[in-house]
Amino acid sequence: MRHTVVERELQLRLIVSAGQAVPVPARLGYRTADPYAVHIDFHVDSACPVHWAFARDLLVEGVFRPCGHGDVRVWPSRADGRGVVLIALDSPGGEALLEAPAAQVAAWLERTLRVVPPGSEGDRLGIDEGLAGLLAQ
């Protein structure tokens, strides 16, 4: 099975405190080999990028309404008169609140949804082919 990768580089903002943010270069990634997940790499030009992966459905829903709990939460908001998507990440190493441009995230998500429509993710896992190969032996 041929696999596709959909990527988008963009500038996020790490919210440090009220009214203060630090720019963070990031790369959004979607791989048909891992069809349920989205991947975000932060500090893509550094020696030690930070990688997060979570459900694509969580990001899709978070563009429209607050969702998620635990390690990843996503919700829409406005900043300086423009639509943004806020992504809260929580790990044993710390917490981060990131702001992403909603239009860029939505456009990238639309590309991923054209490649693998919602509900068809399981077809990309190759489970049927794998089972057929095992049973044929």
Res 1: pLDDT = 62
Residues of the chain with pLDDT under 50: none
Could you tell me the pTM of the whole model? Answer: 0.85
Res 54: pLDDT = 96
* Cα distance between residue 49 and residue 126, in whole Å: 30
Res 47: pLDDT = 82
Res 93: pLDDT = 86
Res 121: pLDDT = 84
Extended beta strands in 36-126, E state:
37-42, 50-55, 67-69, 72-79, 82-91, 94-101
- Residues ≥6 apart with Cβ < 8 Å to 27: 7, 8, 9, 10, 40, 41, 44
Res 6: pLDDT = 96
Res 22: pLDDT = 93
